[in-house]
Amino acid sequence: MAVKIRLARRGRKKMAIYDVVVADARAPRDGRFIEKLGTYNPNTDPASININNERALKWLLNGAQPTDTVKAMLSYRGVLLKKHLQIGVLKGAISQEQADAKFEAWKSSKEESIGGKVDKLSKAKEEARQKAFDAEAAKNQARLDAIKKREEEAIAAAAPPVAEAPAEEETPAASAEGEETEA
């Protein structure tokens, strides 16, 4: 019996969630399976991968063949590296302690890179939110300035015109002074 580790679809239309299952290769995609190893949700950023690593490693060592997508997920989670190291231990190339140390070093570097990506995404989201807030504040200020300008124009138009009489009286006096200076 050929055994595969593959995805079984569930969830609603256009919002798929997948189960990672061990199934007979002849069984239908969403049909009978031997064991459920975990879930995969591609709708989140980064995608959520929850797999029982120990059970997946057991099935891989027993000869189960992962599909391309599941193989990429197992590699991302470090299961394939652990299998590779375990085969080296079984052949006597390295000791179990060396294999565990190599896997822990890889795991810590992988967690740092994942944490960096999550931090970068949250920072980008916060910057976008702040940029949108600043743009909205500027737009609101422009609206308030336009309203204030219209109100000032309405007040200026409604006020009675100021009498220009004092300006006329100064003009003849200035002309009289000009005559005295000429004489």
CATH number assigned to the domain comprising residue 67: 3.30.1320.10
Residue matched to tokens 């565990």: 100
Q: How many CA atoms lie within 13 A of 134 on its CB side?
A: 6
Of 80, 111, 126, the residue that ends a domain is: 80
**Whether residue 53 is found in the same domain as residue 76:** yes
Residue at 145 is within a domain: yes
Mapping DSSP to helix (H, G, I), strand (E, B) and coil, where does residue 11 land?
strand
Question: What pLDDT does 177 receive?
Answer: 57
**Whether residue 71 is found in the same domain as residue 102:** no
Q: What is the DSSP letter of 32?
A: -
Question: What pLDDT does 180 receive?
Answer: 57
Angle between the N-to-C axes of helices 79-91 and 96-158, in degrees from 0 to 180, rounded to the nearest 10: 170
**Whether residue 67 is found in the same domain as residue 38:** yes
**Whether residue 19 is found in the same domain as residue 66:** yes
Where in 42-113 does DSSP place strands (E)?
A: 48-51, 65-66
**Whether residue 20 is found in the same domain as residue 54:** yes
Residue at 179 is within a domain: no
State pLDDT tens for residues 47-58: 889 999 999 999
In angstroms, the CA 107 to CA 100 distance is 10
Question: What pLDDT does 58 receive?
Answer: 93
State which residues form the domain around 110.
95-157
Residue at 169 is within a domain: no
Question: What pLDDT does 175 receive?
Answer: 55
Other C-beta atoms closer than 10 Å to the C-beta of 40 total 18
State which residues of the chain have pLDDT below 70: 1, 160-183
In angstroms, the CA 148 to CA 154 distance is 10
Question: What pLDDT does 116 receive?
Answer: 84
Residue pair 74/61 in contact (Cβ under 8 Å)? The answer is no
Q: How many domains does the chain have?
A: 2
